Amino acid sequence: MVSRAGLYTFIYGTRIDDADPPPLLKLRASNSFIIATIVIAVFTDIFLYSVVVPVLPFALTVRAHVHEQDVQKWTSIFLSLYGAALAVGSIIAGIFADKTTSRRTPLLAGLAALGGSTAILCAGKSLALLLVGRFLQGISASVVWTVGLALLSDTVENDKIGQAMGYTAAAFSVGSLAGPLLGGVVYARGGYYAVFAMGFVLIGLDIILRLLMVEKSVAAQWTISPLIVSQNTHAVEPKIEAPSTPGRSHGDIQPIQALLEPNAVGLTIEPEVKSQSTRSLSRLPPILRLLLMPRLLVSLFGCFVAAVSLAAFDSDLPLFVKNTFFWNSQGAGLIFVCLVIPSLLSPLIGFLSDKFGSRALTTTGFLGSVPFWVCLRFVARNTLPQKVLLCFLLVCLGLCVAMAMTPLMAEIDHILVLEEKRRPGSFGKRTAAAQGYGLFNTAYALGSLIGPLWAGYVVQSSGWSTMGWSLGLLCGVAGITTFWWTGGRIMLKALRLD
């Protein structure tokens, strides 16, 4: 029978004195369970974001009484508001999460915001209420992405982080696919409330998984746990004050010294000569120090461009197929299949990134997308060949975005590990994983904010073809910067000191 202290641990994911080990501790603290929890959290979040994408152009006029000529404007505003909330919340969530003793607590707080936002969007019949619900949805996403990716960084070995991020990216892709697809079909068949019923079922599953998950640092408090082993299989004495970057080696829990070995990321680092400027930098808050790293800034820019690319379609694609091909909400949802299906290859892309590095993949993804963006101009009439051409171009663009985005997610972790190797302990006990991914999410949020506005207003003022080549130009710039900096500046690749 579980004691009261053990029940507290089961519910809150932290230990109090004399607490029994939580039930099924080994399973709940395993890499697979933690990755699955984050994957489901990401899927739920992006599903609830995207499920209303094909519904908005049709529901705004019915529920919020928006005039038909204003639908494009308010569709872009709704999608951009989500990005604004994500940008505001991500940095705050990152700073807060790096100061807490548990990643699990902010994840549960984000889930509460997600439930509240879904209820508001479901019940709201005024434009103001729908805007509030969308903003809360963005706040929830900021917590899920920032804390969830930081938890993966804490848990998964550095040489496997790309594949783990690939599963997260695949969950994002599946959610992005299932949301518009089911949203359009269910709205056409069952109406507005049926769309949100699916969301509440997913939130229920998410609640269960987040309550069951136990972090590695919490599991390490029970010395009898058989999963607490080091790389060489010798037992490690668990301490609550140990850094929360366990699991970077082949064991689940290990001291920070093992993380700092050069072979942890396959690099050879020259001894550092400390200077006055280095000591000055160490006094800066971690988030400001991260912003002074060119390699990180390039990763953030790449994430921004990828987000702009995806969000541009969220704003324009449903209306384009409605006006050009005369499709209904079901067709507007189904067209996203072409864009998202290639992203299911993200785990494979992450594996290749772990094995061969991220430079070639990200550069190919961005530069390879340019001709496909430009060729969107050839889709202009309601003919079968042009419908086929649109589907082909969307598949190619989806693959290019996946090739760029997945390695960049792992790149954040590599940058943080390298900085910790150069200045051990300079970020504190928890390092700055949550703040690093908070910046990453902020960059993505800014892309989600600007993408719909960019696409919406460019299409409205200059047409579909101008939208295509302008985004192609942006991706070309991103391809040049990632070629130069991703994986370390190309002239310093031998040392990897930047």
H helices present in 357-383, as ranges: 359-375
Contacts of 115 (CB under 8 A, 6+ apart): 203
B/e letters for 290-321, b = 16+ CB within 10 Å, e = fewer, are beebebbbbbbbbbbbbbbbbbbbbbbbbbbb
Number of other residues whose CB lies within 10 A of the CB of residue 326: 9
Do residues 260 and 249 touch, judged by C-beta distance below 8 A? no
Whether residue 377 is predicted with pLDDT greater than 50 in this model: the reply is yes
Contacts of 215 (CB under 8 A, 6+ apart): 13, 29, 34, 102, 103, 104, 151, 154, 155, 244
Whether residue 397 is predicted with pLDDT greater than 90 in this model: the reply is yes
Question: Is 253 part of a structural domain of the chain?
Answer: no
> Mean per-residue pLDDT for 109-114?
85
Whether residue 249 is predicted with pLDDT greater than 60 in this model: the reply is no
Supply the CATH number for residue 168's domain. Answer: 1.20.1250.20
pLDDT band at 236 (very low <50, low <70, confident <90, very high): very low
CA nearest to 201, candidates 35, 47, 37, 13: 47
371 versus 334: which is more confidently predicted? 371
How far out from the chain centre does Cα 240 lie?
A: 29
Question: Is 247 part of a structural domain of the chain?
Answer: no
pLDDT band at 241 (very low <50, low <70, confident <90, very high): very low
Question: Is 227 part of a structural domain of the chain?
Answer: no
The pLDDT value recorded for residue 262 is 37
CA nearest to 9, candidates 229, 245, 222: 222
Question: Is 266 part of a structural domain of the chain?
Answer: no
> From residue 43, how far is each of 196, 205, 284, 457, 467 by CA, in Å?
15, 11, 35, 29, 29
Question: Is 20 part of a structural domain of the chain?
Answer: no
Residue by residue, DSSP assigns 125-155 as: -SHHHHHHHHHHHHHHHHHHHHHHHHHHHHH
Residue by residue, DSSP assigns 46-114 as: HHHHHTTTTTHHHHHHHHS---GGGHHHHHHHHHHHHHHHHHHHHHHHHHHHHHSS-SHHHHHHHHHHH
Do residues 348 and 166 touch, judged by C-beta distance below 8 A? yes
CA nearest to 246, candidates 215, 280, 291: 215
The pLDDT value recorded for residue 274 is 44
pTM for the model stands at 0.71
99 versus 327: which is more confidently predicted? 327
> Comparing 14-18, 28-32, 235-239, 394-398, which segment has the lowest mean pLDDT?
235-239
Question: Is 97 part of a structural domain of the chain?
Answer: yes
Query: What is the percent of the chain with per-residue pLDDT over 90, rounded to a whole number?
Result: 15
Number of domains in the chain: 1
> Comparing 295-299, 315-319, 378-382, 383-387, which segment has the lowest mean pLDDT?
315-319
Whether residue 244 is predicted with pLDDT greater than 70 in this model: the reply is no
Whether residue 476 is predicted with pLDDT greater than 90 in this model: the reply is yes
Do residues 152 and 24 touch, judged by C-beta distance below 8 A? no
Question: Is 16 part of a structural domain of the chain?
Answer: no
Where in the sequence is the domain holding 346, given as residue range(s)? 27-219+286-492
Question: Is 273 part of a structural domain of the chain?
Answer: no
pLDDT band at 92 (very low <50, low <70, confident <90, very high): confident
Euclidean distance between CA atoms 346 and 310, whole angstroms = 15
> Mean per-residue pLDDT for 19-37?
83
> From residue 46, how far is each of 64, 132, 276, 453 by CA, in Å?
23, 18, 45, 20
Do residues 173 and 346 touch, judged by C-beta distance below 8 A? yes
Euclidean distance between CA atoms 345 and 403, whole angstroms = 9
The pLDDT value recorded for residue 282 is 62
The pLDDT value recorded for residue 11 is 52
> Mean per-residue pLDDT for 469-492?
84
| Distance between first and last Cα of the chain | 54
Per this entry, what is the length of the chain? 498
> Mean per-residue pLDDT for 193-199?
87
Residue 352 corresponds to which amino acid?
L
Euclidean distance between CA atoms 161 and 48, whole angstroms = 26
Extract the tokens encoding 460. Answer: 């409205």
394 versus 216: which is more confidently predicted? 394
215 backbone dihedrals φ, ψ, rounded to 5°: -70, 155
The pLDDT value recorded for residue 230 is 35
Count Cα neighbours of 468 within 13 Å in the Cβ-side half-sphere. Answer: 21
The dihedral over CA atoms of 309, 367, 298, 415, expressed in degrees to the nearest 10, equals 110
